[in-house]
Structure 1
Amino acid sequence: MRNGPLRILFTSAGRRVELAQCFRAAASRRDVSCEIHACDLDPELSPACQTADARFVVPKCTDPSYVGILQEYCRTRSIDLLVPTIDPELPPLAAARDDFAEAGTFVHVSCAETIDIVRDKQKTIEALAASGVPVPRTASVEEARHSSGAWPFPAFIKPSGGSASRGIGILQGPEDFRGKYDEPMIVQEFLRGPEYTVNVYVDRNGKLLSAVPHIRLSVRAGEVEKGRTERNPAFWEIAERVVSALPGPRGAMCFQLIVDPEKGPRVFEINARFGGGYPLADHAGARFAESLLADLLGQPECASNEWRDGVTMLRYDAAVFDG
């Protein structure tokens, strides 16, 4: 029997109120108490921080002191589990996850080699293609510019290390290339058709336990606003290949694909963390959060493919009041 609550820290917590609620519910199903901690640049203006049991301020995740501040907090507060929520913090946390583990905190992050791949969209496409995953034609902006006569337009352009739909655009023709870009960019063939997110869970042995696709009916700021779970055996096969393409995936991840009516499904991005649409998979019965907690408690992981098809999520704005 465990003494005391499970202490869970959400970093860059922002608006992840729903994600924290998933973990509270998972702890309740495991019959253990749960204490939610959260941090952000300005915790007083973060809904997730405001609804947590404890909150604190941190610098940007690119600050050299970021990891050290988290380690000290985890040590003094006896944090059991640290859950990152944005892509830029994954590399420093992956590099330090063994140090956290020695101090008693499990960081929900894949190995550094996996993070290095998924944080670079060009490397992602190359790794997926080598594993037999269907991917869109992709090139660096320089390669696409020099072969513009052979490159099919329109085409997508996006930062190689971007996230949350930052910096994406559409090139109608070679004349739309800018003379210079502020960061590495890639160009991908333009895909048409419905877009899906597939939430997957990989156990501590690297085995895929669950893959829950949802169609993205409506998106806001790169995050699903309206979605519906949709069971498709072809997506499970793709998920197996995605997992095999990575050297050390662990826990909850998600990837995005478009089902083009002519080319078929094409995977174009991986997020090696809980995605913004995970609450839909959780409500459908995916149990990823509960599986992580079970593992922490020394119990068998419980994520599986016994989830409900056709579950719809319709998000709306809510307010958190303080004072």
Structure 2
Amino acid sequence: MNILLTSVGRRSYLVNYFKDALKPLNGKVFAANSIETYALQQADEFTLTPQIYSAEYIDFLIDYCIKNKITVLISLFDIDLPILAKNKQRFKDIGVDVIVSDPEVIDICNDKWKTYQFLIQHNINTPTTYISFADAVTALNNTELAYPVIIKPRWGMGSIGIYKADNLEELQVLYKKVRNEIESSYLKFESSADIDQAILIQQCIQSDEYGIEVINDLQKNYVTTFCKHKLAMRSGETDQAITIENSKLSEIGKNLSLALGHIGVLDSDCLVENGEFYVLELNARFGGQYPFSHLAGANIPKQIVEWCSNQPTSKGNLAIKSNILIAKDIKPVLV
């Protein structure tokens, strides 16, 4: 079995986790990215790809998979997911299993307005959100919404374009600023679908942050939920966290699995207010909190390899120890 990880970015740890998972099978991990990174160099072999939105992107990947006898493809980046999901059958036709959720699931996760509507529809707590600037201001004037509020891109990732406004003047300025940041970054591609409704104004819940990873098998069946209390964040990613057991978060994870029907890992951020958890967003991929689960005992790369080899779910791959404190480090490297 050979696995191709696309859009690896800086996730060298995932490259190495998959290399370890493939050792018993004598398989190779191939990595792809549009610019050269240290994570690429950690793979057995790597390639530089056209830009994701390039017309040549999928053809390039298919050709690369054929030449290198790739059998499994996994993306590590949100923008990659909708394109791969739409072309999943093309890869299947050449014998490559793309581990990605259905296009409708990816759309719900990548589009934070659809995420909000999905969560409301399924009675899962989430911060009150507006897509209309005028409606948000009306709600603030009528005390249906209170300052501070969060302004963020509808199609966003990381910490790009996320701000907190404490009054109307700040809201007006920051709303325009977010629009400018969207149009000058890679967020412009998905946002171009509806640029006039590409910004959300959201209730600000000021609390500790929590994270869950909802694990489904490749047939979309619920397997388990990993829970963490986030202690520090950096650029939208978890920097330090402690693994926990929490029945409310686990129940949210199971409800998300059953309602969404994703494949593999669903990464979700949560906030807490008055003892109730609120789901902030959904990411249908390995997220920045996965290494915390891995170092606490889980091994999802190994489980995916086993699923792709038609082996059953192994409890040993899906158990994490509680109260494990883990932190990320910054390591300078030569590229």
TM-score, normalising length: structure 2: 0.88
CA distance in 2, matches of 1:78, 1:136: 46
Question: Which has a greater percent of helix?
Answer: 2
1:137-184 CA distance string (max 9 Å, x none): 111142213433133110111001000111000011222233753541
Identity %: 28
CA distance in 2, matches of 1:263, 1:313: 25
8 A contact 1:128–1:245 mirrored in 2: no
1:199-219 CA distance string (max 9 Å, x none): 121012322112111122111
Change (3 A) 1:305 1:293: closer
Residue-pair matches, total: 311
1:220 to 202, 217, 234: 234
Where in structure 2 are the equivalents of 1:184-199 lying within 5 Å?
184-199=198-213
8 A contact 2:108–2:114 mirrored in 1: yes
2:307 is paired with a residue whose SS is: helix
1:10-53 CA distance string (max 9 Å, x none): 1111211111122222234xx2223111111222xx01111111
Amino acid at match of 1:258: L
How far 1:101 sits from its partner (Å)? 1.5
1:254-305 CA distance string (max 9 Å, x none): 1110112x36211010010001221111222222211210111111123665
TM-align CA RMSD = 1.7
1:144 to 136, 143, 160: 136
Name the counterpart of 1:82: 73
Name the counterpart of 2:314: 302
1:148 is paired with a residue whose SS is: helix
1:120 lines up with 2:111 in the alignment: yes
Change (3 A) 1:22 1:72: same
1:321 lines up with 2:334 in the alignment: yes
Name the counterpart of 2:185: none
8 A contact 1:227–1:313 mirrored in 2: yes
1:92-111 CA distance string (max 9 Å, x none): 01101121112111112100
1:265 to 274, 277, 286: 277
1:154 lines up with 2:148 in the alignment: yes
Name the counterpart of 2:246: 232
Change (3 A) 1:277 1:34: farther
Change (3 A) 1:312 1:25: farther
Name the counterpart of 2:121: 130
Name the counterpart of 2:47: 56
CA distance in 2, matches of 1:129, 1:90: 24
1:27 to 15, 22, 27: 22
How far 1:316 sits from its partner (Å)? 1.0
1:256 to 255, 258, 269: 269
CA distance in 1, matches of 2:318, 2:60: 38
Amino acid at match of 1:80: T
2:324 to 302, 307, 311: 311
Q: Which segments of 5 or more consecutive residues in structure 2 lack a partner in the other structure?
A: 181-194
Q: Which segments of 5 or more consecutive residues in structure 1 lack a partner in the other structure?
A: 1-5
1:91 lines up with 2:82 in the alignment: yes
1:171 to 165, 169, 172: 165
8 A contact 2:130–2:200 mirrored in 1: yes
Amino acid at match of 1:241: N
8 A contact 2:222–2:258 mirrored in 1: no
1:111-145 CA distance string (max 9 Å, x none): 00101111111110111121121111111142213
2:13 to 4, 18, 25: 18
8 A contact 2:229–2:241 mirrored in 1: yes
